[in-house]
């Protein structure tokens, strides 16, 4: 039992970081019906940026979030303008899937030229510190990562509910046509939200590098998790993504401890398929038909 | 309107044929003869295996450079034909097809990784080429029972940790571990080795208290180590690659779990990276294996290390063993040529099957399917440095047993 | 139109059959095999995604399943060597295709974007199965298939070449048949407006499943031939996202939803890729280059070569026609 | 007069808004029933609920005497209830004839038969001729004018020999000549026994053509009856003028 609870704690902490990455993905989908397959690669890119800042300029990885996130926001805006916005036609959404995949390959390629393919890890001095709470071990960096992710998710939700930009975003999510009629500049909202989605990846990525070793190819594993999180939560649903991320974290951690680590991520895919069997729109998804 | 695609397809097809035919014509023109000795090598210069692929490339190129500065082989210059296989077995196989049937190279050397060597060796075998290969030591390569394969390391991958078992047996009974846990990576070069060690140790009465295989994308060793620690084993014996080995050590440090023996097949054997990844104070007493060591007194090793540092910079500690393995492949060809005055593939194959051959990797000899019959080195971190500690003849330091606690000298 | 189609098909078949007889250097036949392999994959990707509009990102999962199924059949049923494995292929393909139906059914209940994602997860599911079902697949150590000894050395590659050629032709034949049949009409109406199609009483899910079955059937057989040719497979190589991206790229380059587009794409790209690898290899920019080509095709030529040229021709003809009409009117 | 379609207590809420509120009416067999009401009164939503494009929160639908549980467009179309859409929806990349044949419900056994068989083509041409667009039979449907697309959509749903056709604003955005043609087609088909349920804004047309007329306002039924009854109902006038 002790081990199960320990695993649940671990899973929740990890799930929080995944929730942050997935939030960007689902937000972008909600606004422009674009699945950013490069989200995983952008996370890894951010992890490398933070790694480089740490190893060359000794910037603390948690502080580097403040540098990496705005930089990646700009990158996200550029990507949206150059690659995503230029897609036209009725199958622009499907094409975006492939364009962002190509982008992911490109990022992987560039990273492996610059950083090679060996695994890296950002290891600040406190990387190995462990806290013991009620007999359960909690790694300090994971706790930090979780708290940081939760804080950023809170900021994101405040941004969406309390600001003018947030209202424009939510209006666009609910009804793009109506939002345009109400004077929302759709292009601007889309570009900024894409940047915002990428910054979520960036913030999570800087943190990711501290808790996990990574290499340029790590994005495949990441994106498969992120995509199944957003599908499980319901495409476009922020709350759904958070819940699904926590479900994934806990499922994997418990299966790894109680059964076998090799079946951990498989078990999560099974959860996904079963949920889709019952609710094709995901846990919090809205059933919609293109009429 | 529907005629256009037809024309287009025809043009495309014709274009391909013409291009292909043109290359075919030029390819036929270059024939083996008195020109340079051409050696075809497919290497992973991009993709998953590219780091090791490039290390092997450095070794091959260094050998060619050294050989050519001494007048080449049999009076002919050595020319390496290196092709990127993007870490894909399909491309590796294609590359060897090209080397043999298009470029008509004199010899071929192996690619990096068993996963690419296995399908490539079959191609070489079909055309009667010797397949001297530095990095394909997994069971899949030998499973085909090919007579043309020569693996240029002291022991097949599966037996690479046998040296650790021998070392444990050499200890006084009271010092030997009684229980062991085996957390291993699901990788052809990791978990099978741990399985092999487990089988041997069990025969010698070491109880297996825990065994698990984790997938390669597992980056979090916390739960695995936690579970292993809860069984209080005397030894942690992990079939690992670098990343997960670092993570295992970190998890042990975090959980303040310090068993008497820690043996990890890969990871701790990287003299430059390991201390930086797990902290220099946490390395002592950790065992690993190696097929090669910079200070090894093997044939031509001192010269190799010197030439390597001169050509690529760095220090002897930063030389990837893959470079030495590749270098050894070249040494073998030189020795066969010196002995038989021929580099004909048939001669190379039959000659290498007889006797022992001196290389930077030590003295090598093979059975009929190319499995080397020697033993790897047991390495241990002592006083913040990595030393070969067993077998005694090659040891540079006395082994340290048991492992000191984390953070101690 | 039919006569042109016959001519076109006949020319392709003739060229395909003649190629290894004219150019019998093994390396050329080898590149031929790769080209045909990608052509077959592209045509069968197009067979589902091009005709239904549902983008599947999981095709290579079935390529891998086919490869492993054949490998496992080898090991456990002793299907012998030589030509025998080729005869087993259709059974392997059909089994994999039937096995894929339940998952496809679940995935097809979701919307197009979700569908794409669910199919992408299939890739990881199959790869994990290949890793974890150790007793069947030997996990990460890989599965060895026996090297056929009866094919000789000089023309060793030919049987594989003709097997791949046969699969391309089969895939083309299926597409051609679909385009002429009620199934094609139904698929095209689904692609154009699925909700409307439902309103007309077209059984959309069943129709898509038929196309799905056919595309998996061909894909799995291609995987089988590839495995037999390579003689050694492992999880990452048999479920390699790059292989599928290649097939998708070729389909987009040639033209989605057209019969010959994917073949044209493969004929252009595979030799080009090999050429680039030989002449620009080692520059480490392979992956970046791949991504760049893909990006350019998607952004500049999203409809592909064949439709773009077709449009161009139609436009010129219309211009000529109107000009002719204007001239007449002037007279 | 037996009812071909019976709607009972149909309700649909979107968030806080009740789009269709306990709506009940019947479509008598052989009638041309009109469903009218001001913009936003829930007519199209009601159509979607009846044809299974949206799931009702409450209410029952009976078609031809049998309860339709979980309405599904495919099953309904195959049992003879079909519809058109407000924005003419056709398959633009198919030819007119292909559009027509695609609308023929096929058994599984004919999936691998020729796309357009001779008798099917003849039937399609016949219907296209009735709608006056037979000369465009082999054009791409996407090249048609908006009005022609509406005609094509109308013609296509007839291919499956339906018993009840739901027309969603058949004359909206169509020029007057075509409006007359559409009216004529509805009359003639109705004379041959086909039942219609029509959503229409052109009140003159409704008054000429339809009986009975059902009036919706804010999701509920306001009135139901003969055209002249409904026209003189003060509540209806209120709804239109006040709404």
User: With b meaning 16 or more CB within 10 Å and e meaning fewer, what string describes D112-129?
Assistant: eeebbeeebbebbeebbe
DSSP label at C147? P
**Phi/psi at D114 (5° precision):** -50, 140
Has residue D69 been placed in a domain?
yes
Are A261 and B227 within 8 A, CB to CB?
Answer: no
Q: What mean pLDDT comes out for the span D165-192?
A: 90
Has residue D187 been placed in a domain?
no
pLDDT at B224: 87
Are A98 and C288 within 8 A, CB to CB?
Answer: no
pTM of the predicted model, to two decimals?
Answer: 0.89
By C-alpha distance, the chain A residue nearest D52 is: A289
pLDDT at A171: 81
Q: Cα dihedral sign for D26, D27, D29, D30?
A: positive
Has residue B409 been placed in a domain?
no
Can you give the residue range of the structural domain that contains B111? 5-153+294-364
Q: Highest-confidence range of A137-141, A197-201, C23-27, by mean pLDDT?
A: A197-201
Which residues lie below 8 Å from residue B181, measured CB to CB, with a gap of 6+?
B208, B209, B210, B211, B228, B231, B233, B235, B236, B237, B259
Has residue D130 been placed in a domain?
no
pLDDT confidence bin for C1, thresholds 50/70/90: very low
**Res C292 pLDDT > 50:** yes
**Res B3 pLDDT > 70:** no
pLDDT at B25: 43
Say yes or no: D54 contacts chain A, CB-CB below 8 A: yes
B317 and B183 belong to one structural domain: no
Are D112 and C180 within 8 A, CB to CB?
Answer: no
**Res A208 pLDDT > 80:** yes
Contact map slice: B 58-117 vs C, CB within 8 A: 82-84, 86, 88-91, 93-94, 97-98, 100-102, 114-115
| pLDDT tens digits, D82-124 | 999 988 899 998 999 999 999 988 888 888 888 889 999 999 9
Helices (H), B70-209: 89-97, 114-126, 139-143, 162-170, 191-203
Tell me chain B's radius of gyration from C-alpha atoms: 23
| pLDDT tens digits, D211-234 | 889 998 888 888 888 888 888 888
Which structure tokens are listed for B156? 């097949």
| pLDDT tens digits, A68-116 | 999 999 999 998 888 888 776 667 777 888 889 889 989 998 998 888 8
B217 and B302 belong to one structural domain: no
**Res A23 pLDDT > 50:** yes
pLDDT confidence bin for C281, thresholds 50/70/90: low
Has residue B42 been placed in a domain?
yes
pLDDT confidence bin for B113, thresholds 50/70/90: confident
pLDDT at A88: 67
Query: In Å, what is the CA distance from B67 to each residue of B70, B121, B329?
Result: 5, 25, 12
What are A's interface residues with B at a Cβ cutoff of 8 A? 3, 6-7, 10, 14, 109, 112, 116-119, 121, 123, 127-130, 137, 139, 211-215, 217-218, 221, 253, 256-257, 260-262, 264-265
From the number of C-beta atoms within 10 Å of its C-beta (0-12, 13-18, 19+), residue D134 rates as middle
Has residue D141 been placed in a domain?
no
**Chain A residues within 8 A of B219 when measuring between CB atoms:** 211-214
The CATH number given to whatever domain includes residue B388 is 3.40.50.2300
Secondary structure, 3-state, C15-67: HHHHHHHHCCCHHHHHHHHHHHHHHHHHHHHHHHHHHHCCCCCCHHHHHHHHH
**Res B11 pLDDT > 60:** no
pLDDT at B153: 93
pLDDT confidence bin for B129, thresholds 50/70/90: very high
pLDDT at B303: 93
| pLDDT tens digits, C7-46 | 888 888 888 898 888 887 888 999 999 999 999 999 999 9
**Res C67 pLDDT > 90:** yes
With touching defined as 3 or more inter-chain CB pairs under 8 Å, the answer for chains B and C is yes
Query: Which one, of B41, A228, B46, A57, lies nearest residue C124 by Cα?
Result: A228
Farthest CA pair distance, chain C: 84
User: Can you say whether residue C49 is alpha, beta or left, with left for phi > 0 and alpha for psi between -120 and 50 degrees?
Assistant: alpha
Q: Which domains does chain C have, with CATH numbers?
A: 3-259 (1.10.3470)
| pLDDT tens digits, B214-235 | 887 776 788 889 889 999 999 9
B276 and B168 belong to one structural domain: yes
| Contact (CB, 8 A) for C241 and C287 | no
The CATH number given to whatever domain includes residue D78 is 3.40.50.300
Looking at CA atoms only, how far is residue A39 from chain B in angstroms? 18
| pLDDT tens digits, B134-178 | 988 888 889 888 999 999 999 998 898 999 999 999 999 999 999
When divided into structural domains, chain D yields a total of: 1
Say yes or no: A290 contacts chain D, CB-CB below 8 A: no
Which residues lie below 8 Å from residue D195, measured CB to CB, with a gap of 6+?
D4, D5, D27, D28, D29, D30, D31, D32, D33, D163, D164, D165
Which structure tokens are listed for D9? 């207590």
| Contact (CB, 8 A) for B228 and B237 | no
Cα–Cα distance measured from residue C7 to residue B238, given in angstroms and rounded to the nearest whole number: 63
Has residue D131 been placed in a domain?
no
| Contact (CB, 8 A) for A201 and A194 | no
Contacts 24+ apart (CB under 8 A), B75-78: B76/B34, B76/B35, B76/B36, B76/B37, B77/B36, B77/B37, B78/B36, B78/B37, B78/B39, B78/B330
Paired residues of D8 in beta bridges: D60
- Average per-residue pLDDT in chain C? 87
| pLDDT tens digits, A223-272 | 888 988 998 888 888 888 999 999 988 998 888 878 888 888 888 888 88
Has residue D142 been placed in a domain?
no
Cα–Cα distance measured from residue C202 to residue C52, given in angstroms and rounded to the nearest whole number: 13
Which structure tokens are listed for C103? 């998952």
pLDDT confidence bin for C2, thresholds 50/70/90: low
Paired residues of B81 in beta bridges: B40
Query: Which one, of D35, D27, D33, lies nearest residue D2 by Cα?
Result: D27
- Average per-residue pLDDT in chain A? 85
**Res C112 pLDDT > 80:** no
Closest to C248 (Cβ–Cβ): which among A35, A98, A266? A98
Say yes or no: A15 contacts chain C, CB-CB below 8 A: no
Has residue B254 been placed in a domain?
yes
| Contact (CB, 8 A) for B133 and B330 | no
Taking each continuous run of H as one helix and of E as one strand, the counts in chain A are 11, 2
**Res C168 pLDDT > 90:** yes
Has residue B405 been placed in a domain?
no
When divided into structural domains, chain B yields a total of: 2
Name the helix (H) or strand (E) containing C99.
Answer: helix C84-108
pLDDT at D241: 61
With touching defined as 3 or more inter-chain CB pairs under 8 Å, the answer for chains D and A is yes
Name the helix (H) or strand (E) containing C265.
Answer: helix C261-280
Which residues lie below 8 Å from residue B293, measured CB to CB, with a gap of 6+?
B377, B379, B388, B394, B396
**Chain A residues within 8 A of C110 when measuring between CB atoms:** 231, 276, 280-281
Share of chain A above pLDDT 70, in %: 97
Can you tell me which residue has the tokens 């041309």? Answer: D32
For chain A, the straight-line distance linking the first and the last C-alpha, in angstroms and rounded, comes to 50
CA angle B196, B198, B204 (to 5 degrees): 115
Cα–Cα distance measured from residue B210 to residue B182, given in angstroms and rounded to the nearest whole number: 6
**Res A152 pLDDT > 60:** yes
B358 and B299 belong to one structural domain: yes
Packing angle, helices D146-158 and D118-130, rounded to 10: 130
Mutation to test the C interface, candidates D106, D152, D167, most C Cβ within 10 Å: D106
Are C298 and A98 within 8 A, CB to CB?
Answer: yes
Mutation to test the A interface, candidates C48, C108, C128, C255, most A Cβ within 10 Å: C128
From the number of C-beta atoms within 10 Å of its C-beta (0-12, 13-18, 19+), residue C170 rates as buried
Name the least confident of A63-72, B31-40, C316-325. Answer: C316-325
Q: What mean pLDDT comes out for the span C97-119?
A: 88
B97 and B189 belong to one structural domain: no
Can you give the residue range of the structural domain that contains D35? 1-83+196-243
pLDDT confidence bin for B33, thresholds 50/70/90: low
Closest to C284 (Cβ–Cβ): which among A102, A113, A273? A113
Which structure tokens are listed for C146? 């026996």
Cα–Cα distance measured from residue A149 to residue A262, given in angstroms and rounded to the nearest whole number: 27
The residue with greater pLDDT, C228 or B222, is C228
């Amino acid at each position: 039992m002790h081990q199960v609870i320990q695993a649940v704690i671990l899973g929740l902490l990890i799930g929080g970081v995944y929730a942050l990455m997935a939030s960007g993905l689902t937000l972008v989908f909600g606004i422009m019906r674009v699945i950013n397959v490069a989200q995983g690669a952008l996370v890894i890119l951010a992890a490398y940026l933070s790694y480089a800042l740490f190893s060359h300029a000794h910037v603390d990885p948690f502080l580097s979030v403040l540098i990496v996130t705005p930089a990646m926001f700009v990158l996200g805006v550029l990507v949206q303008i150059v690659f995503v916005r230029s897609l036209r036609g009725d199958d622009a959404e499907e094409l975006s899937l492939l364009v962002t995949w190509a982008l992911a390959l490109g990022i992987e390629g560039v990273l492996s030229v610059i950083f090679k393919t060996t695994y890296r890890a950002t290891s600040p001095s406190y990387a190995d510190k462990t806290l013991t709470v009620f007999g359960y071990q909690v790694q300090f960096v994971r706790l930090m990562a979780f708290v940081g992710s939760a804080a950023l998710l809170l900021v994101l939700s405040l941004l969406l509910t309390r600001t003018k930009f947030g209202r424009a975003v939510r209006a666009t999510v609910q009804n793009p046509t109506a939002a345009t009629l109400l004077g929302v500049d759709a292009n601007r909202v889309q570009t900024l939200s894409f940047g915002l989605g990428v910054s979520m990846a960036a913030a999570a990525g800087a943190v990711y590098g501290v808790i996990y070793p990574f290499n340029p190819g790590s994005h495949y594993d990441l994106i498969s998790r992120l995509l199944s999180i957003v599908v499980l939560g319901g495409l476009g649903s922020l709350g759904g993504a958070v819940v699904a991320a926590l479900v994934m974290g806990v499922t994997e951690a418990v299966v790894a401890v109680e059964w076998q680590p090799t079946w951990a991520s498989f078990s999560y895919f099974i959860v996904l398929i079963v949920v889709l069997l019952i609710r094709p729109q995901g846990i919090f998804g809205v059933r919609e038909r293109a009429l | 309107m529907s005629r256009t695609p037809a024309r287009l397809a025809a043009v495309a097809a014709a274009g391909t044929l013409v291009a292909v035919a043109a290359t075919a014509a030029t390819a036929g023109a270059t024939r083996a003869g008195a020109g340079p000795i051409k050696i075809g090598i497919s290497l992973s210069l991009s993709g998953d295996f590219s780091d090791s692929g490039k290390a092997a490339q450095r070794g091959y190129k260094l050998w060619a450079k050294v050989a050519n500065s001494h007048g080449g082989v049999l009076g002919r210059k050595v020319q390496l034909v290196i092709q990127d296989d993007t870490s894909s077995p399909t491309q590796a196989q294609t590359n060897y097809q090209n080397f043999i049937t298009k470029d008509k190279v004199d010899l071929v050397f192996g690619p990096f990784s068993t996963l690419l060597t296995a399908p490539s060796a079959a191609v070489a075998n079909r055309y009667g080429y010797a397949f001297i290969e530095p990095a394909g030591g997994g069971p899949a390569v030998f499973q085909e029972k090919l007579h043309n394969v020569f693996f240029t390391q002291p022991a097949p991958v599966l037996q690479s940790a046998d040296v650790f078992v021998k070392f444990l047996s050499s200890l006084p009974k009271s010092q030997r571990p009684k229980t062991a846990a085996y957390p291993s990576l699901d990788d052809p070069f990791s978990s099978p080795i741990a399985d092999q060690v487990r089988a041997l140790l069990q025969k010698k009465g070491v109880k297996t208290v825990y065994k698990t295989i984790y997938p390669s994308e597992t980056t979090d060793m916390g739960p695995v180590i936690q579970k292993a620690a809860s069984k209080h084993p005397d030894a942690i014996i992990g079939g690992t690659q670098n990343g997960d080995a670092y993570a295992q050590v970190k998890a042990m440090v975090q959980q303040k779990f310090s068993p008497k023996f820690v043996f990890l097949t890969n990871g701790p054997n990287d003299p430059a990276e390991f201390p930086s990844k797990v902290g220099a104070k946490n390395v002592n007493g950790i065992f690993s294996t190696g097929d090669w060591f910079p200070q090894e007194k093997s044939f031509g090793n001192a010269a190799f290390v010197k030439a390597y540092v001169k050509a690529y910079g760095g220090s002897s500690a930063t030389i990837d063993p893959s470079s030495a393995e590749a270098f050894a492949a070249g040494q073998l060809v030189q020795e066969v040529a010196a002995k038989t005055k021929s580099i004909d593939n048939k001669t190379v194959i039959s000659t290498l099957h007889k006797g022992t051959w001196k290389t930077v990797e030590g003295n090598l000899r093979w059975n009929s399917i190319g499995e080397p019959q020697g033993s790897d080195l047991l390495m241990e971190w002592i006083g913040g440095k990595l030393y070969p500690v067993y077998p005694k003849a090659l040891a540079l330091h006395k082994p340290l047993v048991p492992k000191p606690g984390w953070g101690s000298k | 139109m039919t006569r042109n189609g016959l001519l076109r098909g006949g020319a392709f078949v003739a060229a395909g059959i003649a190629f290894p007889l004219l150019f019998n250097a093994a390396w050329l036949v080898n590149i031929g095999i790769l080209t045909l392999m990608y052509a077959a994959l592209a045509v069968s990707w197009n067979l589902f995604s091009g005709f239904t509009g549902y983008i599947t990102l999981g095709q290579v999962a079935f390529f891998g399943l086919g490869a492993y199924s054949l490998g496992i059949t080898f090991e456990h049923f002793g299907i012998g060597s030589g030509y025998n494995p080729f005869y087993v292929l259709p059974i392997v393909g059909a089994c994999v295709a039937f096995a894929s139906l339940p998952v496809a059914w679940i995935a097809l209940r979701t919307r197009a974007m979700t569908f794409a994602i669910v199919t992408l997860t299939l890739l990881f599911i199959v790869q994990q199965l290949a890793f974890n079902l150790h007793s069947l697949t030997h996990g990460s150590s890989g599965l060895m298939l026996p090297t056929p000894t009866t094919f000789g050395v000089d023309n060793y590659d030919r049987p594989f070449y003709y097997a791949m050629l046969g699969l391309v032709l089969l895939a083309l034949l299926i597409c051609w048949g679909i385009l002429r049949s009620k199934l094609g009409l139904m698929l095209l109406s689904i692609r154009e407006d699925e909700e409307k199609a439902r309103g007309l009483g077209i059984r959309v899910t069943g129709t898509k499943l038929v196309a799905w079955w056919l595309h998996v059937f061909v894909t799995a057989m291609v995987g089988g031939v590839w495995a037999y040719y390579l003689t050694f497979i492992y999880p990452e190589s048999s479920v390699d996202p790059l292989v599928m991206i290649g097939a998708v790229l070729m389909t987009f380059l040639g033209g989605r939803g057209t019969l010959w587009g994917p073949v044209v794409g493969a004929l252009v790209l595979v030799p080009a890729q090999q050429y680039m690898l030989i002449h620009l290899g080692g520059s480490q920019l392979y992956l970046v280059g791949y991504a760049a080509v893909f990006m350019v095709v998607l952004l500049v030529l999203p409809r592909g070569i064949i439709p773009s040229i077709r449009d161009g021709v139609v436009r010129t003809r219309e211009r000529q026609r109107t000009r002719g009409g204007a001239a007449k009117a002037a007279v | 007069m037996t009812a071909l379609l019976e709607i009972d207590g149909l309700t649909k809420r979107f968030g806080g808004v009740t789009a269709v509120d306990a709506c009940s009416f019947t479509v008598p067999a052989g009638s041309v029933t009109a469903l009218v009401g001001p913009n936003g009164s829930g007519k199209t939503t009601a159509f979607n609920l009846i044809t299974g494009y949206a799931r009702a929160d409450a209410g029952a639908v009976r078609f031809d005497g049998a309860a339709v549980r979980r309405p599904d467009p495919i099953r309904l179309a195959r049992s003879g209830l079909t519809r058109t859409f407000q924005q003419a929806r056709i398959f633009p990349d198919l030819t007119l004839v292909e559009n027509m044949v695609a609308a023929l419900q096929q058994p599984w056994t004919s999936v691998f038969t020729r796309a357009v068989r001779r008798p099917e083509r003849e039937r399609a041409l016949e219907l296209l001729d009735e709608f006056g667009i037979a000369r465009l039979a082999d054009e791409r449907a996407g090249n048609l004018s908006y009005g022609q697309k509406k005609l094509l959509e109308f013609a296509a749903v007839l291919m499956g020999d339906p018993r009840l056709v739901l027309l969603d604003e058949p004359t909206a955005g169509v020029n007057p000549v075509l409006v007359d043609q559409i009216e004529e087609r509805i009359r003639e088909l109705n004379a041959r026994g086909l039942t219609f349920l029509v959503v229409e804004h052109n009140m003159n047309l409704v008054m000429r053509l339809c009986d009975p007329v059902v009036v919706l306002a804010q999701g509920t039924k306001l009135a139901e009856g003969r055209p002249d009854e409904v026209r003189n109902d003060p509540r209806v006038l209120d709804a239109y003028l006040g709404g």
